[in-house]
């Protein structure tokens, strides 16, 4: 979708379409109360499980060296990724205090440091970056094309479904309720913030926003789900965004280092989804809907090319295994009788 817009009109068209269609998610956030019956724990749990299982493929790809790596799957990559994973396991299971809370950071930093003497990091991009940059709104400009309107609208619906799953999983792992008015308000505010963020980011030459599923695993490992921590990190990220060299230091990280850390997280996301689904028992009906939705969703994830012959507006939806699984779970939950 974004690539199609980029090929047709470059970055201005991508940013313009992202801003114009962001109100789709904003409107959905205002009507969640009316459609909340479509997203019971069975559906949201299925979505979370699909997100976790889908991300495992990405984590394993980085673990082995990253997409397109010439030495993909080499022993050095596997050993480095395993080193990071072992450090995280030891720190999170046997550490205490700050060691336990900072298990992910300790693993990443340890892997990063080990990579330097092994010659696995190229610091040229860091040296080439400047020290300070000031955001320039509308640097690339904005463009619009009606031909891309429907696919972008559908894409925002898809990301909304995935975000509902992420927000539900974060509530579950933080010990918060995943039913009732409190959770409903949380979902509405989350989608509203995401939609508004996508509109604002377009003005500042940045791609649309969506929830970051990996954070679910971070909360599970650290047991820290405080909003205060989120606020502090958000401020730090805003400040670091003004200093390109810091971003470059992160960007040159060797892929297996990141893969070793993310593999520790993605399985936890899937397990959080299973926990949501089974919280009120695992009946034959639940098992039927969960297994069918999971099978089809993962099948599309493994072979997204099966949607390439569909019309463009459907291809956007059916090329996402998470979206397909979510739609199927909603449909089956409506038509399969309780008894």
pLDDT tens per residue, range 124-136? 777 787 788 888 8
pTM: 0.73
Predicted confidence at residue 292, as pLDDT, reads: 92
65: confidence class by pLDDT, cuts 50, 70, 90: confident
Q: Which one has a higher pLDDT value, 293 or 118?
A: 293
pLDDT at 3 over 80: no
Separation of first and last alpha carbons in the chain = 41
285: confidence class by pLDDT, cuts 50, 70, 90: confident
Cβ proximity of 260 and 88 under 8 Å: yes
The pair of structure tokens assigned to 39 is: 């997203």
Predicted confidence at residue 16, as pLDDT, reads: 86
pLDDT at 310 over 80: no
Q: Which of 120, 52, 67 is nearest to 257 (CA)?
A: 120
pLDDT at 313 over 70: no
- Checking 304-313 for CB contacts under 8 A at 24+ apart, the result is 312/4, 312/150, 312/151, 313/150, 313/151, 313/154
The pair of structure tokens assigned to 310 is: 């569909």
- pLDDT average, residue stretch 80-85: 89
- What kind and span of H or E run contains 242? none
Predicted confidence at residue 30, as pLDDT, reads: 85
pLDDT at 147 over 80: no
Residue 172 CB contacts under 8 Å (≥ 6 apart), including other chains: 178, 272, 275, 276
Q: Which one has a higher pLDDT value, 291 or 119?
A: 291
pLDDT at 145 over 80: no
Cα(262)–Cα(269) distance, integer angstroms: 11
Could you read off the pLDDT of 248-280 as tens digits, one per residue? 888 778 888 888 888 877 887 888 788 888 877
- pLDDT average, residue stretch 277-288: 83
Could you read off the pLDDT of 156-210 as tens digits, one per residue? 887 887 788 788 888 878 888 777 788 888 888 988 988 998 888 888 888 888 8
């Amino acid at each position: 979708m974004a690539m199609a817009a980029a090929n047709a009109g470059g970055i201005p068209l991508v940013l313009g379409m992202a801003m114009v269609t962001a109100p789709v998610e904003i409107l959905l956030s205002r009507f969640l109360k009316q459609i909340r019956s479509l997203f019971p724990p069975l559906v949201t749990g299925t979505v979370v499980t699909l997100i976790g299982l889908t991300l495992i493929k990405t984590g394993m790809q980085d673990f082995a060296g990253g997409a397109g790596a010439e030495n993909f799957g080499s022993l050095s990559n596997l050993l480095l990724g395993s080193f990071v994973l072992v450090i995280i396991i030891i720190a999170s299971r046997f550490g205490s205090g700050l060691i336990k809370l900072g298990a992910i950071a300790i693993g990443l930093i340890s892997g990063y440091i080990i990579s330097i003497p092994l010659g696995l990091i190229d610091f040229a991009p860091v040296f080439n970056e400047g020290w300070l940059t000031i955001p320039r709104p509308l640097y690339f400009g904005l463009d619009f094309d009606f031909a891309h309107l429907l696919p972008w609208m559908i894409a925002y619906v898809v990301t909304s479904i995935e975000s509902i799953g992420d927000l539900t999983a974060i509530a579950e792992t933080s010990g918060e309720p995943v039913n009732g008015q409190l959770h409903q308000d949380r979902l509405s505010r989350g989608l509203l913030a995401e939609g508004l963020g996508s509109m604002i980011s377009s003005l500042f030459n940045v791609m649309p926003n969506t929830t970051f599923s990996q954070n679910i695993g971070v909360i599970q490992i650290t047991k820290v789900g405080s909003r205060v921590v989120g606020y502090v990190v958000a401020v730090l990220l805003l400040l670091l965004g003004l200093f390109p060299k810091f971003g470059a230091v992160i960007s040159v990280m060797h892929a297996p280092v990141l893969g070793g850390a993310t593999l520790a997280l993605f399985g936890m996301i899937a397990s959080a989804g299973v926990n949501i689904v089974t919280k009120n028992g695992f009946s034959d009906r639940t098992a039927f809907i969960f297994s069918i939705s999971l099978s089809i969703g993962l099948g599309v994830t493994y072979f997204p090319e099966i949607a390439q012959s569909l019309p463009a507006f459907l291809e956007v939806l059916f090329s996402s295994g998470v979206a397909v699984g979510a739609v199927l779970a909603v449909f089956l939950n409506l038509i399969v009788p309780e008894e």
